[in-house]
Chains A and B, each alone.
Chain A
Amino acid sequence: MNLTLHVWRQKNARTPGRFVTYAAPDVSEDMSFLEMLDVVNERLIEKGEDPIHFDHDCREGICGTCGMMINGEAHGSLEGTTVCQLHMRFFKDGDEIIIEPWRSRAFPVIKDLVVDRGALDRIIQSGGFISVNTGSAPDGNAIPVAKGAADVAMDAAACIGCGACVAQCPNGAAQLFVAAKISHLGFLPQGQPERWQRAEAMVAQMEQEAFGSCTNYGECEAACPKEISIDFIARLNHDFLRATLWRAPKARGGGGAG
C-alpha cells in the first residue's frame, strides 16, 4: 500500500517545530508501524535528509519506550496496543497519517517525536516503592496474599510507564499512571505500612510537575496499551483522601541505644 505521512519535525527543544509531508510507498501489511518508519528513514538517509527521530526499544510492547500520536490517538486507534505492536494491516492504501509527539506540557519535546518523560520517574522516586533493604525480607510464603488481591495488583502493575494516558488526556493529567502504582502496591499486604504516606507523597510530586488535573474524561483508560482500568483512580482518590484526613500520629522519637 502507499501512504502519505505528515510528521512533526522539531530540531530540538529551543527550535519551533512544523509538519513535514513524506510519501511512504510500497508498505507491506506485515510491517509494524515502526518498521514502516524505519523504511521511510532509510530512504531519507539515502537522500541525505535527517531521519525522523522516535523513541523505541524492545519492539514487543513491554518496555514502554515508544509512543506517538497517530491521527490524534496515542499509540494509534487499535485498542490495547503500543505503536511497536501496531501493524500496517490496520491501515489501507491511500491513507494519510498524522504523526505527532506526545502532547503534554509535562513531556517537553527533545527532538521530532522524542519527548522527556522524566516526570514519571520523579513520581516513582517520591514514594512508588516498598521500603525493604536487600537481605531483610522474610520467607516468600511467610505473608500469604489472597489470589484475588495478587491478581488485581498484577493488573495495576502491568503499567509500562509509556505516558499515553497523559498524552491522550485533554487535561494532561497523570492520574492513571499514579493510580496504577498506588493500587499495585496498595492491594498487597507488603504495601500496607507505607500506604498512606505513599499516596500523599506521590500526589504531591505529581502536582509539582506540569501535569493537569483529572476530571474523569476517561481518555486515559481508552488510550492505555495495557488497558489499565480507570477504577484505580477511584482508589487513588480514596487513599489520598484517607491519608490527608487521618494523619498517623507522630512519635516523639529521639534517643538511641546506650
Chain B
Amino acid sequence: MQLDSKIPSGPIEQKWDRYRFDLKLVNPANKRKFSVIVVGSGLAGAAAAATLGELGYNVECFCYQDSARRAHSIAAQGGINAAKNYQGDGDSIYRLFYDTVKGGDFRAREANVYRLAQISVDIIDQCVAQGVPFAREYGGTLDNRSFGGAQVSRTFYARGQTGQQLLLGAYQALARQIGRGQVRMFPRTEMLDLVVVDGEAKGIVVRDMVTGEIRSHAGDAVLLCTGGYGNAFYLATYAKGCNGTAIWRAHRRGALFANPCFTQIHPTCIPVAGDYQSKLTLMSESLRNDGRIWVPKQAGDKRNPNDIPESERDYYLERRYPAFGNLVPRDIASRAAKAVCDEGRGVGPTGLGVYLDFAEAIGRLGRGKIEERYGNLFQMYEKITGEDPYTVPMRIFPAVHYTMGGLWVDYDLMSTIPGLFVLGEANFSDHGANRLGASALMQGLADGYFVIPYTLGNYLAPRMGRPRTTDLPEFRAAEAEVKERIDKLLAVGGTRTVDSFHRELGSLLWENCGMGRTAAGLEHAIEAIPELRERFWKEVRVLGDADELNHSLEKAGRVADFLELAELLCRDALHREESCGGHFREEHQTPEGEAKRNDEKFTYVAAWEWKGEGNAPALHREPLTFDYVKPSQRSYK
C-alpha cells in the first residue's frame, strides 16, 4: 500500500493557501443534499459539527455522554497556544511551527504542523467572538502566559479551566445548530462499527445506551472525533468513559493505525493512593511555572519535606537542564521523575512521587498571587489528598495523559478509507512523538473549525447525487456482527469483573510499555496480552441484559477492544528501535540518559494495517522529510 499524504506543493507558507484555492467546492445550495456523521462532541467533534451545520450540511452528531458538553476536552486546564505575538516577545507562526516540530522530536509532518500554527491565530478570534471568557489585562486586552517549556508567552487561558471554556464555546455553537435543526444530536449513543460500502465509509452502527437498540446511520462521510486511547493503561488522566472503540473498529475495517507507541506521560499528576484507584488526576503543567521540583539527595530520606534543608535537596530539573529548568517538555520531565524514583529517592508512602514546592514562589510573590494563579488547582489537590499545598509541598508523579498516535490521515485528515475522516486526538497528525503543552486544544479546534470544512467539501463535491441509504447488505452484516459480539459478551458467564481485566491490562502496559521500554519487556507484553485476551473471553462476567442501560456491557466492549489495541501498541514500540519523544527505549540513550533518535532508520510514520484476528499486522511506512526544521538532538540544557 502506498501512503499518499497529499501534501500540496510549494513553499510551506503557501501550501494551505494553494490548497484552499485548488480544492473543489460544494455550492451553497447543494450542501443540504449531503449528510455527515460526526462521532464525538469534544473540541474537534463539536467544532466540526457546528461549523458544518453553519455551512448548510445535514449533520448527525453522536456522543456516549448524556450531553455533548461533557466530552473530556473539558478537563484541559492550562491553555491554548496561538502565534498571535500579542506580547511582542518574538513569537510568530514560524516559531510556533518550529517549536512544535522540534517538541515532537522530528516525527511529525512539517506541512501539517505549519498549517496548525497558521490556523492558531484564527482559533483565538473565533473563541473570543463566541464569548469564551479568556483572562484579560486591565486595559481589556487578552492576557498570555508562558507554558510547557515555551520561551515566549503564547498561551491563552481562562483560569485553570481553559478546556472547559473552549468546549462550552464549541458546545454552544453546536447547540445553536441543533436548535436550528441543522444538526441532530444523539447523546448516550455509542458507535460500535463503521460501515464500508464499495471501499468508502458510508455509515456507522450504533447502540442506544438507554434502550440497547442497535441501529444504522448512513452518511456521505464519517468523521471520527473520539479522542485518544490512553485508557488502555487503565490508570490515566482520561475520563472513565474515554475509549478506543470507534478508532479500533475503523482500524479493523481498513483504516491504518499510525505510531500507536507515541503516548504521552504527563509529569504532574497526583500519585496513586491505593489499589481501588479508578483514575489519576492531572495537576496543570502551569504549576511548573512557579513550583520547583525536587527530591531528597539521600535515597530513603523519609523526613517531613519541610525539615529537609536546602543543601540536602536535589532540584534535579534545574540541575540537569539549567536553561529550561522546571519547564522542560513533558517527556523529559516525566523520565527525570522516573529516574530519581528508580534511584530510591522518590517521596510519599509509595516512593513513587516527587515534590512540587511553592514555598519559594510564595515567599517571592506572596500567597495572594499564588492563590490567584492556581487557587482552584490547590483546592483540588487538597480535596484529593487532604494536604495543604500552601504549607506542604505537593507530591506529583507522571501519568498517562495523551496519545500522539492514532488513525493515519493525509493532509485532508482523511484516513486510508475514503470518506472516513479523523480529527483531534483520534488522528496521529501534528504532534509527532511528543505533544507540547497547550497544543491539544489548538489541534482539536483547528481540525474542527478550520480544516475539515474545506477538506470535506473537496471530498464531497464530486460525489453529488450518490445514493445514501442504510438499506444495504453491508449495514445488515455490520449490525449482525455487533449484536453477535454483545450476545457473546453476555454469554461468557465467568467469574471476574470487567474492571479486574482492565486493571491487569493497565499494569502490564505501564510496566512494559510506559516511561521506559525494553525489547525484553515488550516481547513479554506481546505474549501476555493475547493470553489475557483469551482469559477475558472465558472468564469475564457481564451481568444484565442487552436491551437496557448496562454499564458493565459498555465497559466490556471497550476493554475487549483495548485488549487488541494494546498489543499493537507494544508491537509498534518494539519495532521502533530508537528513543524519541514519549517513546523511550532504554537500549537507545545517550551517556547522559537522554533519548537517542535514529534518524537514518526511523524518520517515518509507522502505519499498521489490520490483517485479521490471529495474524500479525502489516507495517507501512510514510517517510518524513524535513525541509525547514533540520533534525537535531533536542537540547533543553
Contacts and interface: CB of A to CB of B under 8 A. Distances in A.
- Of B65, B128, B133, B168, most buried by chain A (CB within 10 Å of CB) is B133
Given A42-B497, A57-B70, A85-B380, A110 B172 contact: no
Given A87-B383, A134-B51, A150 B128 contact: no
Contact of B125 (A64, A80, A137, A154): A137
B158 interface: yes
Interface string B167-194: 0100111011011000001010000000
A26 B133 CA distance: 44
Given A150-B134, A150-B135, A89 B386 contact: yes
Nearest to A43: B497
Contacts of B17: none
A1 to B, nearest CB: 14
A121 B380 contact: no
Interface stretch (A124-132, A212-220, A230-238, A247-255): A124-132
B159 interface: yes
Interface in A21-45: 28-32, 34-35, 38-39, 42, 45
A63 B68 CA distance: 10
Contacts of A129: 130-131, 172-173, 175-176
A85 B131 contact: no
Contact of B128 (A49, A60, A143): A143
A89 B324 CA distance: 39
A85 B172 CA distance: 26
B383 A51 contact: no
B139 interface: yes
Contacts of B282: 60
A106 interface: no
B179 A125 contact: yes
B138 interface: yes
B125 A140 contact: yes
A97 interface: no
A207 interface: no
A114 B497 CA distance: 21
Contacts of A170: none
A39 B277 CA distance: 10
Centre residue among A39, A64, A143 by max chain B CB count within 10 A: A64
Nearest to B70: A63
A42 B239 CA distance: 19
Interface in A88-131: 89, 110-111, 114, 116-118, 120-121, 124-131
A125 B84 contact: no
B274 interface: yes
B500 interface: yes
A51 B495 CA distance: 14
Interface in B446-499: 449-450, 453, 495, 497, 499
Interface in B532-584: 541, 543-544, 548-549, 551-552
Q: Which of A85, A87, A137, A138 has the most CB of B within 10 A?
A: A137
A53 interface: yes
B84 A63 contact: no
Interface size class of A (residues with CB under 8 A): 35 or more
A128 B548 CA distance: 32
A135 B137 CA distance: 25
B549 A140 contact: no
Given A131-B176, A141-B142, A150-B136, A110 B549 contact: yes
Contacts of A45: 497, 541, 543, 552
Nearest to A89: B386
Interface string A47-88: 011110101111111111100000000000000110001010
Nearest to A120: B67
Contact of B75 (A28, A60, A114, A137): A60
B240 interface: yes
A188 interface: yes
Given A110-B549, A147-B137, A63 B75 contact: yes
A59 B274 contact: no
B54 interface: yes
B142 A11 contact: no
A190 B130 contact: yes
Contacts of A61: 380, 383
Contacts of A130: 129-131, 172
A60 to B, nearest CB: 5
Contacts of B245: none
Nearest to A137: B129
B276 interface: yes
A117 B209 CA distance: 15
Interface in B151-168: 158-159, 161, 163-165, 168
B74 interface: yes
A133 B47 CA distance: 11
A256 interface: no
Contacts of B304: none
B517 interface: no
B176 A154 contact: no
A34 B178 CA distance: 33
Given A63-B70, A117-B66, A130-B131, A34 B278 contact: yes
Given A42-B499, A59-B279, A133-B54, A147 B126 contact: no
Given A34-B278, A85-B383, A146-B136, A125 B178 contact: yes
Given A85-B384, A121-B67, A140-B124, A147 B176 contact: no
A144 B47 CA distance: 25
A144 B139 contact: yes
Given A63-B75, A110-B210, A161 B69 contact: yes
Contacts of B549: 12, 53, 110-111, 114
B276 A62 contact: no
Nearest to A82: B383
Contact of A137 (B66, B70, B126, B551): B126
A49 B541 CA distance: 11
A32 B131 CA distance: 34
Best-buried of A50, A89, A117, A143 by chain B (most CB within 10 Å): A50
Given A51-B552, A58-B72, 9 more contacts: A65-B65, A85-B384, A116-B66, A118-B187, A124-B69, A137-B129, A141-B86, A154-B165, A157-B158
Q: Which 6 pairs across A and B sit closest by C-beta, in order of nearness?
A: A144-B140, A137-B129, A129-B172, A125-B179, A137-B125, A154-B133
17 contacts: A12-B549, A42-B500, A45-B543, A49-B543, A56-B240, A58-B72, A58-B74, A59-B279, A62-B163, A63-B71, A121-B68, A125-B176, A128-B175, A129-B130, A132-B173, A140-B124, A158-B161
Interface of A: 11-12, 28-32, 34-35, 38-39, 42, 45-46, 48-51, 53, 55-65, 80-81, 85, 87, 89, 110-111, 114, 116-118, 120-121, 124-141, 143-147, 150-151, 153-154, 157-158, 160-161, 184-185, 188, 190-191
